[in-house]
Structure 1
């Protein structure tokens, strides 16, 4: 129980820190329907479930291998640049005509392409599992990750659905999209500056 509690606290810090998934959640929640928000939240939570499962089965050591890290980072950066570009283009027209789709698949891809999320979650799993665990306990770790993700992103999404907040932000969606695309671009630049490229 202490192991799960300490893991939950550790992984909560990573999940709650703003990143591309958080930005995607906010931009979709401002004008989206509750069903759209549910799809985005599900995509982000299932991606974190997938990442933590990789950590539990020992994939963290593979992800820490320099060539794998380089490949995942470069592919992730390319996808995040695409998302930033699409967000920037949608800022000139009404959001409902956007070509950026708020769906399970796009949210899943945004989270899986975020190398910092991958490394943080798999590292948190590795730190927490420092001895052999029963199978049942090892399977609870990905479920805890998914549950925390679902609760956090759901709260964020539904907070931005509050009519007063949504109306205010809806009038400034063009600015929010531009700021979100610049923030994603900044995150990509930070990732590229901090990576040691190994081929």
Structure 2
């Protein structure tokens, strides 16, 4: 029987302690309601706002230094933009100069090609003329062509003599005065000497 009695005692104590807790909690709730009704609500709201409002920084930023820094950064940005514009302008100028250079180079190459063709034609025409004159001098009698060779410069005369057949050239040199024949012979020998040394 004793265990049953102890259980009853314990359950009564628990019920009574619960009742006490309920009564204390209801006092707290009642007290809170009274405070809300008597103007505690605005005070609590202000307190809540102060808790959620961002805190002011504990340090102070000097505005003069900050303004100077911002001004300096803006100045640098303007200078950078100015340099970029100058570089872009230089690149555009360089592109134009390069295009003009390419066009001029094409014109120069075309002019060089035309000049080479003209020189080749002139050389060919000059060779033809010299060959014709050489053939003409070869067909003349040595006594008729010798006075012409005597009037020529030794270099010029040697050019014709070198192109002629040996027999005809010998006859012309034999018909020339000794001084003229010697001068032409020296030029001819000098030409052969240069060829051999090269």
TM-score by length of 2: 0.20
Say which structure, 1 or 2, has more relative contact order (CA 8 Å, 6+ apart): 1
In terms of Rg, which structure is larger?
2
